[in-house]
Chain A
Amino acid sequence: MAAVTGLEQPLVVPSAGPPARPRVWRAVVLLLAALYFLVPLGASLWYTIYTPTTGVSFEAYGELLTAEGFAASLALSLGLGLATIVLVLLLTLPAMLAVRLSAPRLRPVMEVLCTLPLVVPPITFVAGLGTSLRTGAEVLAPTPFWATLIAVQDPAFPIVLVLAYVVLVLPFVYRSLDAGLRTMDVRTLVEAARNLGASWPYVLLRVIVPNLRSALASASFLTLALVFGEFTVARLLGYQPFAVWIVTISGSRGQVSVAVSILSLLLIWLLLLAVSSAFGREKK
């Protein structure tokens, strides 16, 4: 579709008006856009490698690896990202299959539920989450559940962040999986496999998952990108994954924090490249 219109448009644009004018405004628009988007990139890069006293050096990038808390916060973010991916897929995939196969009337409900986290700003969600954690600690204090609630908030690996991130990524994962499920006939595949004697776990792992590979991959990469950059929830609940760590060191080491910002832009770019190549393969 896009390719077809792409071929058609060049034939039309010259006939619609004087050929010189559209090119001029297009060049102006593109030039301004390039300036606006590339100058901060270049300036940030220059900021990290140049200081008036010592001249050009790549010290900030070397300092990064030895900076206090870098490895710990990076490991925490990675762990949180992986745990979020596992949990969100384990929750959404069976639910979406169940809705498709045996409760189609539930589908609009699912769609609304999975869109709601987009409407509720993360900061308001964390305000409510913090309040319910505190209230929960008061209410549950005399019961054994209190220990569970405390364990969930363990600073070494705050499971509560994983739970919150699952909610935040739910809209993106839902859309990605929904797009993947649309490309296959789930009911026929499942019924055929079941009639041939396959067990439910077998159907899920050997029939559904291989067909959804690219949707699952793109959902995972999006989740990873989101968890990596997440600041609001972690900061307000008092944990220090990667994004919070960058802010903590920015006061004393401005260059390092900008260097990390450049690296995280690269990381997002790589992750999205992985997403688009996952979807690109599917189309072919």
Chain B
Amino acid sequence: MRRPKGWLGALPLLAFYAFVFGLPLVALLVGAFTSRGEPTLANMRQSLEGGNLTSIAGSVQVSAVVALLGAVLGTFLAYAVVTSRFAALRHSVLTASGVLANFGGVPLAFFWVATLGNSGVVSGLLGLPTGALYTFWGLVVVYLYFSVPLMVLVMAPALDGLRPQWREAAANNGATSWHYWRYVGLPVLTPALLGGVVLLFGGAFAAYATAAAMGAGTVVPLVTLKIANALTSDVLIGQENVALALSLNMIVIAGLVMAVYLPLQRRSTRWLR
């Protein structure tokens, strides 16, 4: 009597999920491999050549640089805060990280346009050349604004998990600071570090709003901009299916990267207890 009732509770969510999330994914998959109703591999081939391939490579490069830089900088910042004696500093940095990690999208773009854009406040003071914000490194600087705080949020609990006793034990056994980090600290932190890198990569890779709001002046080819252009321009009918093929490529890349993260997350939570 009770069992069927329980199933019923989960049914609306599952039905909703299949309809609103499953159906579009199926449509995406079908659309990527068809053109005007005919099955074809042409979309996939087109999505992997010329400007499309460049845009995928551009997105992967930006995301990889942001992930690695963000991970290193975020870890140092988290360590500086976690080992600090001032509880207020720790509290305020972690709170600010929570806010800034969620501060992406359109407002972030305008912040940086106002700061380092062509008529920005700081670019005038520094004498930056026109368009400096709209280069590869400009985009990296912008993306780091939400990536570093995210890394701080990932690393702070992991760094808290480093017991002082481990360091003392290592020191008692004659280990130097280098030995401690090489053989104790880093191995313990590795799952959290890699997990953070993957999260940062995923965030930068999927980001569209920031790049779009910064304006078409962006000279960095990004796959998200490419997909959006293909979907919104009514000029070419077949382009839409190429956009779907590009989307499929994105999902495959994001899925591969995330597949690394999930088992690692399980491992790293062990150290948080």
Contacts and interface: CB of A to CB of B under 8 A. Distances in A.
Interface of A: 1-2, 5-6, 8-13, 15-17, 22, 25-26, 29-30, 33, 36-37, 39-41, 43-44, 46-48, 90-92, 94-95, 97-99, 101-103, 106, 110, 113, 115-125, 127-132, 135, 163-164, 166-167, 170, 225, 229-232, 235-236, 243, 246-247, 250, 254, 257-258, 260-262, 264-265, 268-269, 272-273, 276
B7 A95 contact: no
Contact of B213 (A8, A91, A247): A247
A166 to B, nearest CB: 7
A44 B5 contact: no
A125 B24 contact: yes
Contact of B80 (A26, A40, A260): A26
B107 A132 contact: no
B99 A269 contact: yes
Given A102-B2, A127-B247, A110 B10 contact: yes
Given A121-B254, A163-B20, A40 B111 contact: yes
Contacts of B135: none
Contacts, number: 259
A186 to B, nearest CB: 12
Nearest to B15: A91
A44 B114 contact: yes
B247 A124 contact: yes
Contacts of A5: 160, 163-164
B157 to A, nearest CB: 8
Given A5-B160, A247-B213, A250-B213, A127 B10 contact: no
B52 interface: no
B115 interface: yes
B76 A29 contact: yes
Given A39-B115, A40-B112, A247-B106, A132 B208 contact: no
A15 B172 CA distance: 12
A246 B103 contact: no
